[in-house]
C-alpha cells in the first residue's frame, strides 16, 4: 500500500498551452508561490506549435495569426515589445483574394461575374435572416446559401449562381468544417481589425513559459483523475502514479479532450475522470458545441518563381451548369434540396483536391519564404492527416491544384523535387522540396483544432458553464471558455489570465 503523502501545491494548472502558460505567469506575477503546470505532451505550447522544415525554415502548424488586432491584448503586448526592442514579431498580411476555379481559372475581380459584390450581399442576407427576426431556426450554411440563391435567382446571372456558392465556402477555412456541417447562424462574424501573421508563435510561447519558475513545469505527465475532497482540497492523479494535492486547479485542456470525461469509455488517451462528475450544466453544454478540424499543409519550394500579386489564394470546389439548371427550375427550397440530393447520389465520385475549397497563403509575399501554407477543413483534414507521412501520395493528391495555382500566378507546373532529379539548376520552375502536414485530428491531446458550431449549437452555454467552473476550486480556461477571442490564441491567453487573477484575489 502506498503511504506517500501527495505533494501539496497552491494551484495546479493542467495543460501548458497558451491558456495554462498565461495562468502560471499571472499567478507568479501576483506573488502566488508553489504552483505546478502539468502537460501531457513533451513540449509546451499546446495548439501553438512551430516546426522546422527545408533549409531551417520555420512554420506555425497550429495558430498562425493575431486576429482582431484592434482589441487583441496579446497582440498589443507583442506590438509594444516590438516598439521597445525593434524586433519584427508579426506582419500584416491582409490582401485582396485571388479566387481560382479549375475550369475557368481566375474568377476574382471579374467585371462580368462581380462575385465579391454578390458575396457581400450574401453576408448581409445571412445577417438579416437571423438578426432581423427573432426565433428563426438555425440551418446549415449550405442550406442558407441555397435559400439565398432561390430567393434572389431573378437578380443573378447563371455564372453567379454557379460560382458564388463555391466562393462563399471560403468560410469553411475559418471554422474548419464543411458547409453542410456548419451552423449558418455562426458562420459570419465581425472582425475587430486586421489580421497580423505571427513570426512565429514559438517566441510568444517561450516568452510566457519563461516568465515563471521553470520547476513549476512538468512535461510528459498525463492527468488521469481530479477529485474534489471533503476537506475542500483537490487531488490530482497522474498516469505515472504521482499524486498531487492543491487548493485550486485550472483545467486548460481542449474542449474536445474535456468532452471525453462525459463519455462512457474510460481508457481513452487524455481522458480525465472527475469525482464528483462534471456538473450537469457542463455536461449539457457539450450537446450545444462541437469541434472543428482546421488542418495545414506546408508546400516548401526551392525558390520563388511565381507572382507575388497576392498573399491570399482560394481555390474553389468544382461546380457545374447542371447545378444552375436545378436552382432555376426548383419550385421551392424543399424541392431544391431533394433535387440536389438526387444529383449528389448519382455522382459516385471520390474526393479530390477540387472537391472542397482550399486556402493558400503565399508566404513568399508576406514573409519572403518560398512556400505555401495551405489550410483545409474537415473531413479533408482527417484524410490528409492520416497519410501525412506518405509524401508521394500527398503530392499526387494536391498536384492538380498546385499546378493550377502556379499557372494563375504566371508560373510553370510543379516539379517534384522531393526525390533526386536532374537538370533543374537552370530551370526557372517551381521545385517542390518538402511537404509538412499538421496532426491535430490524430493527436490524442487535441483531437481537432478548436471549437465550432454545428446547426442548432449555441456556444454561449459552454462559455457560461466553463467560466462558472466546476466549483469554486476547480476552474477552466481555454479558447472554448470565453466569448471575445473564442477559437483564438488571444482568447485562450485572456481566459488563463482571468482564472489566475480570480484565484490570486482569493489567495491574498
Could you give all domains of the chain from N- to C-terminal order, each with its CATH number?
5-53+199-289+446-505 (3.50.50.60), 94-131+143-192+294-375+388-418+425-435 (3.90.660.10)
Look-up: residue for cell 450545444? 288
Dihedral sign for Cα atoms in the order 34, 36, 42, 46: negative
Compute the distance between CA of residue 324 and CA of residue 147 in angstroms, rounded to an integer: 14
Which of helix, strand or coil describes residue 6?
Answer: coil
For 68-128, give the secondary structure using H, E and C.
CCCCCHHHHHHHHHHHHHCCCCEEECCCCCEEEECCCEECCCCCCCCHHHHHHHHHHHHHH
Q: Would you state the pLDDT for residue 422? A: 61
Residue 318 C-alpha cell reads as 468544382
pLDDT value at residue 79:
98
Contact 433, 422 (CB under 8 A): no
Residue 478 carries which DSSP code? S
Question: In DSSP terms, which residues pair with 474 in a beta bridge?
Answer: 249
In angstroms, what CA-CA distances link 129 with 122, 135, 138, 165, 193?
A: 10, 10, 10, 17, 25
DSSP-derived 3-state class of residue 246: strand
Contact 482, 83 (CB under 8 A): no
pLDDT the model gives residue 369: 98
CB atoms within 10 A of CB 105: 11
Q: pLDDT per position in the chain (508 positions), as tens?
A: 455 678 999 999 999 999 999 999 999 999 999 999 999 999 999 999 999 999 999 999 999 999 999 999 999 999 999 999 999 999 999 999 999 999 999 999 999 999 999 999 999 999 999 988 778 899 999 999 999 999 999 999 999 999 999 999 999 999 999 999 999 999 998 889 999 999 999 999 999 999 999 999 999 999 999 999 988 899 999 999 999 999 999 999 999 999 999 999 999 999 999 999 999 999 999 999 999 999 999 999 999 999 999 999 999 999 999 999 999 999 999 999 999 988 888 877 789 999 999 999 999 999 999 999 999 999 999 999 999 999 999 999 999 999 999 999 999 999 999 987 766 665 689 999 999 999 999 999 999 999 999 999 999 999 999 999 999 999 999 999 999 999 999 999 999 999 999 999 999 8
Diameter over CA atoms, the chain: 79
Q: Does this model's pTM top 0.85?
A: yes
Q: Distance between CA atoms of 47 and 469, rounded to whole angstroms?
A: 22
pLDDT of residue 419: 84
Report the chain's terminal Cα–Cα distance, integer Å: 37
Copy the grid coordinates of residue 267. 481508457
DSSP string, 292-324: ---EEEEEEESS--S--S-SEEEEPPP--HHHH
Reference 486, options 463, 461, 456; nearest CA is 463
Angle at alpha carbon of residue 206, lines to 200 and 211, rounded to 5°: 140
Nearest to 124 by CA among 161, 94, 97, 151: 151
Provide the sign of the torsion angle of the four alpha carbons 306, 309, 314, 316, taken in this order: negative
**Three-state SS for 335?**
helix
DSSP state of 425: T
The residue to which cell 510561447 is assigned: 205
Q: Quote the pLDDT of residue 1.
A: 42
Say whether the peptide bond before residue 276 is cis (omega within 30 degrees of 0). Answer: yes
Task: Assess whether the previous peptide bond of 200 is cis (omega < 30° from 0).
Answer: yes
DSSP 64: -
Amino acid at each position: 500500500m502506498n503511504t506517500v503523502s501527495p505533494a501539496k501545491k497552491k494551484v495546479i494548472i493542467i495543460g501548458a498551452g497558451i491558456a495554462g502558460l498565461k495562468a502560471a505567469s499571472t499567478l507568479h506575477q501576483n506573488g502566488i508561490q508553489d504552483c505546478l503546470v502539468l502537460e501531457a505532451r513533451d513540449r509546451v505550447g499546446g495548439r501553438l506549435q512551430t516546426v522546422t522544415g527545408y533549409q531551417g525554415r520555420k512554420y506555425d502548424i497550429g495558430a498562425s495569426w493575431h486576429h482582431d488586432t484592434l482589441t487583441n491584448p496579446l497582440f498589443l503586448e507583442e506590438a509594444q515589445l516590438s516598439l521597445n526592442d525593434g524586433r519584427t514579431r508579426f506582419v500584416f498580411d491582409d490582401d485582396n483574394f485571388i479566387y481560382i476555379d479549375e475550369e475557368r481559372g481566375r474568377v476574382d475581380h471579374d467585371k462580368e461575374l462581380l462575385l465579391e459584390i454578390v458575396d457581400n450581399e450574401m453576408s448581409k442576407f445571412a445577417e438579416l435572416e437571423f438578426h432581423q427576426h427573432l426565433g428563426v431556426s438555425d440551418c446549415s450554411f449550405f442550406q442558407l446559401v441555397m435559400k439565398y440563391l432561390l430567393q434572389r435567382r431573378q437578380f443573378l446571372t447563371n455564372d453567379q449562381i454557379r460560382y458564388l456558392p463555391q466562393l462563399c465556402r471560403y468560410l469553411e477555412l475559418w471554422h474548419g468544417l464543411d458547409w453542410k456541417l456548419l451552423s449558418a447562424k455562426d458562420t459570419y462574424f465581425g472582425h475587430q481589425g486586421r489580421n497580423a501573421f505571427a513570426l512565429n508563435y514559438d517566441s510568444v510561447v517561450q516568452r510566457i513559459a519563461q516568465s515563471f519558475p521553470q520547476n513549476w513545469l512538468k512535461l510528459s505527465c498525463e492527468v488521469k483523475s481530479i477529485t474534489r475532497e471533503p476537506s475542500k482540497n483537490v487531488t490530482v492523479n497522474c498516469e505515472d502514479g504521482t499524486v498531487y494535492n492543491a487548493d485550486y486547479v485550472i483545467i486548460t485542456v481542449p474542449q474536445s479532450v474535456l468532452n471525453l470525461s462525459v463519455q462512457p469509455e474510460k481508457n481513452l488517451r487524455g481522458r480525465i475522470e472527475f469525482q464528483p462528475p462534471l456538473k450537469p450544466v457542463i455536461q449539457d453544454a457539450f450537446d450545444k458545441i462541437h469541434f472543428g478540424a482546421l488542418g495545414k499543409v506546408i508546400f516548401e519550394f526551392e525558390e520563388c518563381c511565381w507572382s507575388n500579386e497576392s498573399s491570399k489564394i482560394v481555390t474553389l470546389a468544382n461546380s457545374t451548369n447542371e447545378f444552375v439548371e436545378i436552382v432555376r427550375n426548383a419550385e421551392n427550397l424543399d424541392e431544391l434540396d431533394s433535387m440536389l440530393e438526387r444529383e449528389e447520389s448519382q455522382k459516385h465520385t471520390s474526393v479530390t483536391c477540387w472537391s472542397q475549397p482550399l486556402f493558400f497563403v503565399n508566404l513568399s509575399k508576406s514573409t519572403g519564404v518560398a512556400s505555401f501554407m495551405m489550410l483545409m477543413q474537415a473531413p479533408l483534414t482527417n484524410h490528409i492527416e492520416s497519410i501525412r507521412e506518405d509524401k508521394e501520395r500527398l503530392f499526387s493528391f494536391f498536384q492538380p491544384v498546385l499546378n493550377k495555382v502556379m499557372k494563375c500566378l504566371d508560373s510553370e507546373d510543379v516539379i517534384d523535387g522531393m526525390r533526386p532529379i536532374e537538370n533543374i539548376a537552370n530551370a526557372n520552375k517551381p521545385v517542390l522540396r518538402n511537404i509538412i502536414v499538421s496532426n491535430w485530428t490524430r493527436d490524442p491531446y487535441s483531437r481537432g483544432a478548436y471549437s465550432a458550431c454545428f446547426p442548432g449549437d449555441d456556444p454561449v452555454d459552454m462559455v457560461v458553464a466553463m467560466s462558472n467552473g466546476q466549483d469554486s476550486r476547480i476552474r477552466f480556461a481555454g479558447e472554448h471558455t470565453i466569448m471575445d477571442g473564442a477559437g483564438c490564441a488571444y482568447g485562450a491567453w485572456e481566459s488563463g489570465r482571468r482564472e489566475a487573477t480570480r484565484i490570486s484575489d482569493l489567495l491574498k
